[in-house]
Structure 1
Amino acid sequence: MIMTNLQQTIAQVLSANRGERVVAFDVDHQKYWLKQAEKNTGFMRILKANPQRALAQEIQALQYLNKVGAPCAELVAWDDDYLVLKDVGATVDQWLQNSACDQQQKQQIINDCAMALAELHALDLVHGRPATRDIGWENGKVRFIDFESKLNIDRLQWNKARDLIIFIHDLYRNTLPQQMVESAVSSYRQHANSEQNWQYALRILHKYRFLYPLFKPFYSIAGKDLLAGLKVFEYWQNNSSDNEVNK
């Protein structure tokens, strides 16, 4: 059997990087990532799941996500102890920190991400942690990486709303201006059937609103995560009028 350039390169990368968790390589001007099964040692063998089983589950999940056209990385090769993904471009986190990227482009990028998240939810899929570091963007194309949720997930609408809250929290964590966050949320809500997820997210924040006065006194000394959390609750307060939280 004649091996393609990609197959030959994968074999070479594997041979040269046995045991290396993640390795990047290029073939014909296209970047790829090779991920090998984790090698747990000592006490971590007890704490962590079986690496081979975890890799097999990840491969199965990616196969399904690619099959249904989910906005995620493309699985191009796999075996019992490795998988290979096509690169998804720079992460949104990197774009937001890029001084050469102006505010208008950053706005377009996070709006694209919000719409991609809505598309993912429309497929009844949940990411689990849609932070900007886990989203790739390239020429308007959004791809999610490192899915943390299972495909057959319970409490689907709750988890979609949780995804949305985590996404908003991460935008605040990146210290984006309020209008940029609002524009991203608006982009999400405009997608078909996404409004109900937004309303459900508001109800979740209403349920946990008691946390805001508990942590507000620490506003001036809050770290990134806490400060972003407080801003999420403030956003809820400003939008609670269009949320039927008392039902």
Structure 2
Amino acid sequence: MARLINIDSILGQIPAGEKERLRSVSVDGARYWIKRYDCEDRPGYKLLHKVISVLPIPAWSKQSEPVDAAGAVARELRKIDAFRAIGFKTAKTVYSDEVMVIAKDAGVGLDHEMKALREAGNKVAHDEILCEAAYVLGLVHAAGLVHGRPHIRDMFRRGRKIGFLDFEEEPETVMPIAFAQARDCWLFFLFAADLALLPGTGQKAWQRYTENAPADLLLALREIFAFWHRVIWPLKLLRLTGFSSDLRRIVKADEILENAFRKN
């Protein structure tokens, strides 16, 4: 018989008046995460979004519509339900209201797993996790879903399966699904290219991803790649040493996709 979860005990561990974005608590031997959506007042972001939305920029570069706390909670729950309905692992939600979601601890975060392997000097196993994550993301896209920001820290392992967390963006509402998925892929390889420890890992991850990725997604991804390739090729030629971390990621991801598209 499943144990009843004492929500009052979980809520009782939130200090009065506190609005911490993310907090973990332990109740009856189980760990829970409390995620609040009323902590970030971003009027500047909302204004910027309105300005950008009317500019002649590529559709895939647009951000999800800004929403209030209740809208953010609804979006997170909606995407969790969509992923779970297909069979993908997500954190189990035990409570939600207009400003917060409480979920049971999902499992071992891939970022923590990779950190342990880095510290142990196991580069092969470390990079294999990136390839595993790429494969599962391909399955997500083949199922018609979009994560929104598939960073390694937003993935976890439960048993042998990789699951997903933190559905804070919904690009599929402001662009065609193929471009929203291609944006997912682009962002994933931005992160993965920078995390890989061994040469060739990016290409291996790409091969695993494309085992399942939809054809229309790959066409959309070519458009995103072509845009960034034109933007950054002078910097790649110069091989500037003062790259910011974001620019370094873009350059590395560009090299992975350039090599991949050249072969196809």
TM-score (norm 1): 0.80
1:187 matched residue in structure 2: 208
Q: 1:172 deviation in Å?
A: 1.7
> What does residue range 134-153 of structure 1 map to in structure 2 within 5 Å?
134-150=154-170, 153=173
Q: Deviations over 1:166-213 (max 9, x none)?
A: 11111122243232222221111122x545534542343134422232
**Percentage of pairs with the same residue:** 23
Q: 1:44 deviation in Å?
A: 7.3
Q: 1:32 deviation in Å?
A: 1.6
The range that moved more, 64-73 or 127-136, is: 64-73
Structure 1: segments with no counterpart, 5+ residues = none
Give the paired residue count: 240
Report 1 or 2 for greater relative contact order, CA contacts < 8 Å, sequence distance ≥ 6: 2
C-alpha RMSD over aligned residues: 3.1
Question: Relative to 1, partners in 2 of residues 1:180 and 1:27: Cα closer, same or farther, differing over 3 Å?
Answer: farther
1:111 matched residue in structure 2: 131
Structure 2: segments with no counterpart, 5+ residues = 48-65
SS in 2 for 1:221: coil
Residue 94 (structure 1) aligned with residue 115 (structure 2): no
2:34 matched residue in structure 1: 34
SS in 2 for 1:35: strand
Kept in 1: contact 2:151–2:187 (CA 8 A): yes
Q: 1:33 deviation in Å?
A: 0.4
The separation in 1 between residues aligned to 2:37 and 2:259, in whole angstroms, is 46
1:226 matched residue in structure 2: 247
The separation in 1 between residues aligned to 2:101 and 2:68, in whole angstroms, is 16
SS in 1 for 2:13: helix
2:25 matched residue in structure 1: 25
The separation in 2 between residues aligned to 1:157 and 1:27, in whole angstroms, is 42
Q: 1:138 deviation in Å?
A: 4.2
1:62 matched residue in structure 2: 80
2:190 matched residue in structure 1: 169
The range that moved more, 138-147 or 119-128, is: 138-147
